[in-house]
Chain A
Amino acid sequence: MAIKVDYVLRETGTNLFRNFTITLASVLTVFVSLILVGSSLLLRQGVEKATRRWEGGIEFIIFIKPDATQEEVAALQRELEESPEIESFTFVDQEQAYEEFKQMFSEQPEMVESVEPSVLPPSFRVVPVDKRAVSVESLSKQFADRPGVEDVVSATKTIRQVQELSQRFTFIIVVVAVVLLGAALLLILNTIRMAMYARRHEIEVMKLVGATNWFIRVPFMLEGLVEGMVGAALAIIALVFFSPVIQGWLPPPTEFPLFSGFIPGGAELLGTCILMGITGCVVGALGAGVAVTRFLDV
């Protein structure tokens, strides 16, 4: 049986505006929770991007002069392999270094353009056995004066703190967001339950004259879906609109390179927005689905 589109749209519209305040509450709850989910995701991605080369326990990096000889590099590698104080290490050549650079400065194409793989130093990323700051410091100094070594940089306290903070911060935000999403789901469920109660006489007559179950259900299900979608759309708009504003508060990347990664790239923003949209729709549809199966006895 064909369900008339104009009927479904009209009914859904009426339902949405009948309990407007409750509808608004559902939409706003979805909006707030998705804003939290979205911004914490972006923050997390930003921190990960900014501290990518320090992942996996890497405590210091040995940068090699671009013009170092093969023998000098081989000697360094041998020393790293033989040293009992070193747990593991990886070699990052100029091409890989360039890829990493491009990612870090993906929001500043003029910087990427001004750099070529040949000017970037290859490096060894080193994971020491003993991770205490003092021993890392003395170990890294050993390599500073080896032939072919340009510089040795160890993970600063700041980087570690930023990583830790962002982890705790995202955890808290995600917990709050999940609770709020649960609240949004219950609110949507109740909005639809109220809509069904307001229309109980219509529903009774519909069953009486032989309207199909789906014909009765669809407007209510759409109502939930629309609430979730509108909430998600508002959150996405807010996030897209405010993320440049927040960027403006941060110091420019040239002054403080660590923050360059905090600026979410286009791809990351798009991915986050898609995830928010899906979450909103799922919450809306789920709330409506539960309401329809639990309270609409057809």
Chain B
Amino acid sequence: MIKLENVTKVYKGDVTALRNASVDIQKGEFVFLVGASGSGKSTFLRLLTKEEQPTEGRIFVAGKDLGELSHWKVPFLRRNIGCIFQDFKLLSNRTVAENVAFALEVIGRPRHVVQSQVPAILDLVGLGDKAANFPHELSGGEQQRVSIARAFVNRPLILLADEPTGNLDPATSVGIMRLLDRINKTGTTVVMATHDRGIVDTMRRRVIELDRGEIIRDQARGVYE
């Protein structure tokens, strides 16, 4: 599903974010990306959505060589990838339901699809009764659930999560991880960058550790360190 072949990413000013990284992630896997800040976790994720281009090496996502993918096809790649973030990136002037619907509307899904999918996905993340609320009326955990609903409503093949529990307390984080686990069980490949030792050690999934842009560990059923 995701394959990196000797990928190096050097930013302007000779900052090496990723050095000769090779990874193969199968469909349906759940992978933790761990490492200190600046170790290249975010760059790793941004390369997968072609927000960044590798300086060297090749990247395959959902069977497509990203280097060969023309500029105008990138949006269609991103429809196969759901993304969630530490800061949720919800639109504050839209309700919960509108935030989720927005993701479907802007990729041209017909109205009846939007009307049936949105309540269903909100029920799935446990926010069926908050559809008409605005993001600022929700707790952090609920907001993250909205952003997961938005990322997953289009049933992507891959879910990328950049420190999704970074702003949440441990109890709330557990709820979010249960949700991601459920999504993973539907066959969605999940790649999650995290600093959360507790989560990694409890879940015991594949762990890829980065240190200054190099993969120093790739362990099945691994722990934080």
Give the B-binding residues of A (Cβ under 8 A).
1-4, 7, 201-202, 204-213, 215-216
Closest to B111 in A: A4
B60 within 8 A of A: no
What 1/0 mask marks residues of chain B from 65 to 82 whose CB sits below 8 Å from any chain A CB?
Answer: 000000010011111010
Complexed CA–CA distance, A216 and B75 (Å) = 11
Q: Which secondary structure dominates chain A's binding surface? A: helix
Give A162 to B125 CA distance when docked, in angstroms.
Answer: 80
Name the one of B72, B92, B103 contacting A209, with C-beta atoms under 8 angstroms: B103
Interface residues of chain B, those whose CB is within 8 Å of chain A, are: 72, 75-79, 81, 83, 89, 91-92, 102-103, 105-108, 150-151, 154
Counting chain A CB atoms within 10 Å of each CB, the highest count among B89, B106, B108 belongs to: B106
| A202→B78 contact, CB < 8 A | no
Chain B positions within 8 Å of A215 at CB level: 106-108
Contact A212 B78 (CB under 8 A): no
Residues on the A chain within 8 Å of B81, using CB: 210
A212 touches B75 (CB 8 A): yes
- B51 CB to closest chain A CB, in angstroms? 8
Q: Is the CB of B75 within 8 A of A208?
A: no
Chain B residues near A213 (CB-CB < 8 A)? 72, 75
Identify 18 residue pairs between A and B in the complex whose beta-carbon atoms are under 8 Å apart, listed by A's number: A1-B107, A205-B102, A205-B103, A205-B150, A208-B83, A209-B79, A209-B151, A209-B154, A210-B77, A210-B79, A210-B154, A211-B75, A211-B107, A212-B72, A212-B75, A212-B76, A215-B106, A216-B106
Q: Which residue of B lies closest to A202 (CB)?
A: B91
B190 shortest CB reach to chain A, Å: 17
Q: Cα distance A150–B78 when bound, in Å?
A: 86
Closest to B80 in A: A210
Complex: A211 Cα to B79 Cα, angstroms: 8
Q: Smallest CB–CB gap between A14 and chain B, Å? A: 11
Given A208-B83, A208-B89, A213-B72: A1 and B78 interface contact (C-beta under 8 Å):
no
Cβ of B101 to closest chain A Cβ, rounded Å: 11
Bound CA span A204–B88, Å: 12
Residue on B nearest A4 in the bound complex, by CB:
B108
* Assembled-state Cα–Cα distance A40/B75 (Å): 49
Are B108 and A205 in contact, CB atoms less than 8 angstroms apart? no
Known: A201-B91, A215-B108. A210 touches B76 (CB 8 A): yes
Q: Which 8 A-B pairs have CB atoms at the shortest separation, nearest pair first? A: A210-B78, A210-B79, A211-B106, A209-B103, A210-B75, A212-B75, A206-B106, A1-B108
Report the Cα distance A183→B146, complex, angstroms.
44
Q: Across the interface, which residues of B come within 8 angstroms of A210, CB to CB?
A: 75-79, 81, 107, 154
Q: Which residues of A contact B72 (CB under 8 A)?
A: 212-213
Given contacts A202-B91, A209-B103, A212-B72, 10 further A-B contacts (CB under 8 A): A2-B108, A205-B106, A209-B79, A209-B154, A211-B106, A211-B107, A212-B107, A213-B75, A215-B107, A215-B108
A3 to B109, CA, bound (A): 10
Given contacts A201-B91, A202-B91, contact A209 B106 (CB under 8 A): yes
Query: Given A3-B108, A211-B107, A215-B106, are A205 and B75 also a contact pair (CB < 8 Å)?
Result: no
B residues in contact with A202, CB < 8 Å:
91, 102
Contact of B89 among A201, A212, A216 (CB under 8 A): A201
- Smallest beta-carbon distance A86→chain B, Å: 69
- Distance in Å from the Cβ of A283 to the closest Cβ of chain B? 28
* B residues less than 8 Å from A208 (CB atoms): 78, 83, 89
Cα separation A213 to B78 with both chains bound (whole Å): 12
**How far is it, in angstroms, between the C-alpha of A209 and the C-alpha of B89 when the chains are bound?**
12
* A3, B107: Cα distance in complex, Å: 9
Interchain CA distance A202-B102 in the complex, whole Å: 9
CB neighbours (8 Å) of B107 from chain A are 1, 209-212, 215
